[in-house]
Amino acid sequence: MDFKLFGEAFVTLLVIVDPPGMMPIFLALTGPLPARDRNRAAWQAVALALGVIVIFAVAGQTLLDYLHVDLPALQAAGGLLLVLVALELLTGKADDPSQQATSNIALVPLGTPLLAGPGAIVATMLFVQQADGAADYGAIAAAIVAVMLAVWVVLRFSGGIVKILRPGGIEVLTRIAGLLLAAIAVQLIADAVAAFVSQYQTMG
């Protein structure tokens, strides 16, 4: 296995996925839930993110070409999804645990587009395009699994923070997470618009 490529892919994806930055958003979405449901949401989100990233690594370019979708469009869609979640967090609609199913939170927005977002998908697709031979593919696959394992460990043991924060602290964290999520969403959409503009300028 190419350990240099493994290191590059691991560090790149870890920085993009950003487990410590994901923790406040995860806690804001799952804070009101029982510990068992929160742990289930953690592994479901990681499993879905792993599946999405692997699918795009193997057939991403083919899939996008077939659907005539550009990467910036995928980025903008991810941004719009995050805007909806951010609004829920900011207005307090995400506070009522009876309103949310654990699997729904785990799938959207945790699994995708937060963990398996446009950044992680594009980075993985680029690594796969540059890969040469089975050893390189093995290194990229190992890096993806290692990153998702790291994310799961961070989310799984974030429950201790919930006990320290108590309901009042979680409410404050929820509003802050909503603000951060809104900023991430706006950045994603802005980057997508910029990419579209430069693409059409190049074509012109």
- 123 phi and psi angles, rounded to 5 deg: -60, -45
Under DSSP, is residue 80 helix (H, G, I), strand (E, B) or coil?
helix
Segment 129-181, tens digit of pLDDT: 989 999 999 999 999 999 999 999 999 988 788 778 877 888 888 888 889 88
Higher pLDDT, residue 170 or 47: 47
pLDDT at 104: 82
Is 12's pLDDT higher than 70? yes
**Per-residue CA distances from 200 to 73, 142, 169, 190 (Å):** 13, 37, 47, 16
Q: Are 147 and 16 in contact (CB under 8 A)?
A: no
| C-alpha to C-alpha distance for 30 and 37, rounded to whole angstroms | 8
Length of the chain: 204
Better-scored residue on pLDDT, 78 or 45: 45
Q: Cis peptide leading into 113, omega within 30 of 0?
A: yes
Residue 96 has pLDDT above 60, yes or no: no
Query: How buried is residue 16: exposed, middle or buried, by Cβ count under 10 Å (0-12/13-18/19+)?
Result: middle
Q: What is the mean pLDDT of residues 104-132?
A: 90
* Residues 73, 188 contacting (CB under 8 angstroms): no
CA-based angle 165:14:57, to the nearest 5? 130
Q: Are 117 and 52 in contact (CB under 8 A)?
A: no
Contact 115, 45 (CB under 8 A): yes
Q: Which two tokens stand for residue 114?
A: 């937060």
Give residue-wise pLDDT tens across range 182-191: 998 899 899 9
- Please tell me the distance from the alpha carbon of residue 163 to that of residue 183, in angstroms, as a whole number: 28
- What type of residue sits at position 170? I
* Identity of the highest mean pLDDT range in 6-10, 28-32, 200-204: 6-10
